[in-house]
Every structure is written in structure tokens, then in C-alpha cells.
Structure 1
């Protein structure tokens, strides 16, 4: 990994260059001031999803979910724990497929919850079904190797 990575702000869409050494400190967007990588799950809309999945240089794990899905709601606290564990090494985000069915179709989501890991604009792995935090973390680390 280089000495800095680009991260898309989920709020304003601005691309930010963040020094790798500062990732664990919870960097903020240079434009709007919102957190970029604070160990919390990011809620994505369509614009933020496309910008982050294509432009982020830090691993991005997206949970494709819906509010009516029981397993999705059950996994939410585990996903949040995984986000905290992976702080500084990966960002975790959620996209509501009920609100954004076009993205679910485009990304070939066939069941939810579905976790898709993106690294530098490429999908590198998928995980289906509700999972505990430890399995989510292991999935990300397994795809990133020594980088996670």
C-alpha cells in the first residue's frame, strides 16, 4: 500500500487523500468534515455507493440489506462490531436494497444479507447470509492477507 489512500466521503461525495498512518485516527472529509474511516458503519445512497466502490483505495465491505429482512437486522450489531475491529484497515458500509433496487440488480445481489468486498474498484469476494463479527473480520482479512 502507498503512503496515502483515496476515500470517497459518503456524505458529500468528495474524494479525499488520507495518509495511511492517519487511518486509525478517524480522518474527516476535507470538504464537509464528516468522518471517513471512524470504525462505524457507513450508510450509502446510490451516488456514494458508486463513488466508493469504484474509487476507494482502502478495502470496502458493503452489506446489501433491507429493513424487512430479519437476518439483516440480526446481523447489524455484528457488522458494527466488525467495522470497529477493522478500523483503519477496511471501511464497512450498508446499502438498503429496498431503496436502491437498481444497484442490487446491477451488482447481482440474489439474496440478502449479502456482503461484497471491493478493493481498488474491483469486487474481490462475496459472503452470503448473516454472519457473526468474527467471520466477517476473517473474510476481509482472508482477502487482504497481510494488508489487513
Structure 2
């Protein structure tokens, strides 16, 4: 699998069966999985979302948004518990206005699930942990049909 590094956005080829073996980036030598959401920017979007073969869940958020701030711990917990099956990324809509406009973000938080640049699912609004995990599980079945 091609996996983008969350630190330098370098692309790495990792056998799928070795994803759980704490692989490190061949470029910067940092861990490919940190159990933390990755800050997605215009600069690293192509490698982390479009070129990486790992499914990524994006959280479009803003610092002034109460529901966004309430959902942040659930999203972080999902990153700790569900990597390396999914990568989790956060897009600050105030700082990344171009990305927010590209995806026509009208309300926040907005969640999107991508695989290799293809949007698989989208959901507006914050969810409790159990419903968020259920949403991920329901849409995980669609991932296999894309790859």
C-alpha cells in the first residue's frame, strides 16, 4: 500500500500486512501512525488524501464552533483506536478556506470519508462516539468497492 507520512507527507510503500507493525517513514524516519489526527492543509492534501491508499476520515472544523470542539475528543479517540485501518485528518476551515470552498462546506463540523481521492461518504454535524463508529463501520463496506 502507498501510505503518506503524517509528518512530511512523503509517500511510502508498505505491505498491508505490516501496517500494524509500527512502520516508519523512509524519508523523515517518523512513525507513519501516531494515533493522532493529522492537520490537513492545501500543501499536504494531495499526498495524504488523494495519493495515499489508506482510507482517511476528514473533519472540517473551526475554532469558534462549539459542536466542533465538543466532537474533537471523539475524533481523537477514534484516531487512537482505529489507526491503521483509517487515517484521521482535521481541516481548519478558517485557515484552509480553499479546501473548504473546494468541498462546498456549508456547515461544520462536516465529516468526509475518502479513499484514494474519492469521497465515499459525507455527514454534517457532530456525533456521539457510538454513532460515529457506526457511521464508519457502515461506510467501510463501500471502501472495498473503490480500491
Match of 1:105 among 101, 105, 110: 101
1:98/1:141 Cα in 2 relative to 1: closer, same or farther (>3 Å)? same
Q: What TM-score, normalized to structure 1?
A: 0.88
How far the C-alpha of 1:75 sits from its partner, in A, is 0.5
Partner of residue 14, structure 2: 18
Partner of residue 72, structure 2: 76
Question: 1:1-148, aligned counterparts within 5 Å?
Answer: 5-145=1-141
Q: Kindly report the root-mean-square deviation, in angstroms, between the aligned alpha carbons of the 2 structures.
A: 1.8
How far the C-alpha of 1:45 sits from its partner, in A, is 1.9
Structure 2 portions without partners, runs of 5+: none
Q: What TM-score, normalized to structure 2?
A: 0.88
How far the C-alpha of 1:52 sits from its partner, in A, is 1.5
How far the C-alpha of 1:140 sits from its partner, in A, is 1.8
Structure 1 portions without partners, runs of 5+: none
Render the CA deviation track for 1:34-64: whole Å, top value 9, x for unaligned: 2322322111221112321111111100101
How far the C-alpha of 1:33 sits from its partner, in A, is 2.0
Moved more, 118-127 or 46-55: 46-55
Equivalent pair of 2:5/2:25 in contact (CA under 8 Å) = yes
